[in-house]
Amino acid sequence: MENCTGIILAGGRSQRMGTDKGLLLLDGKSFVSHIYKALQPLFGENCIIVSSNPDYDFLGCTRVEDIIPNKGPLGGIYTGLKYSKTKMNIVVSRRSISYHRTFTVDVQQAFRIIFSEPIACRWKNKSLSSSIR
């Protein structure tokens, strides 16, 4: 999908957990590894992770820090869209780990999940100009 970017939101201060949730292990791999592995075949080089944590650099995809710090997920979405080079974007949270197996099984099923779940959404870049000011 050369005309679409996968954006993984992996920011946050980890106040409740005390540790970065995206780096917690599931089946011997970090949550974010599972999510990236599911998205990478769909979006190829068009993957962005929004996080200030350099520990995510092991993924080998573009990692960017929030342009406007401390704005929560909306700030991460804004940042991901600003760095995206494509018109369409799929935004997922590191909490979407329960869906990683479905992503890899069937692209159409993945998009049904992406468009029906509150933890993932589709954004057009032209909506960015009116989102945050």
The reported pLDDT for the residue numbered 26 is 83
Question: What is the b/e burial string over 45-55, where b = at least 16 CB atoms within 10 angstroms of the residue's CB?
Answer: ebbbbbbebee
Q: At what angle do helices 107-116 and 31-43 cross, to 10 degrees?
A: 120
The count of C-alpha atoms lying within 13 angstroms of the C-alpha of 23, restricted to the half-sphere facing its C-beta, is 14
- Predicted confidence (pLDDT) per residue in 68-86, tens digit: 998 988 899 999 999 999 9
- Structure-block tokens of residue 133: 């000011």
Q: With a cut of 80, say whether residue 131 has pLDDT above it.
A: no
Minimum mean pLDDT range among 3-12, 49-58, 98-107, 121-130: 98-107
Give mean pLDDT, residues 32-49. Answer: 86
CB atoms within 10 A of CB 82: 15
For the segment 82-94, the average pLDDT, to the nearest whole number, is 87
Is the predicted pLDDT of residue 14 greater than 50, yes or no? yes
- Terminal alpha carbon distance of the chain: 30
Cβ neighbours of residue 25 under 8 Å, at least 6 residues apart? 31
| Among the four given CATH numbers 3.40.50.1000, 3.40.50.1110, 3.90.550.10, 2.60.120.200, the one describing domain 4-130 | 3.90.550.10
The pTM for the full model equals: 0.75
More confident residue, 119 or 4: 4
Task: State the pLDDT confidence band at 57, using cuts at 50, 70 and 90.
Answer: very high
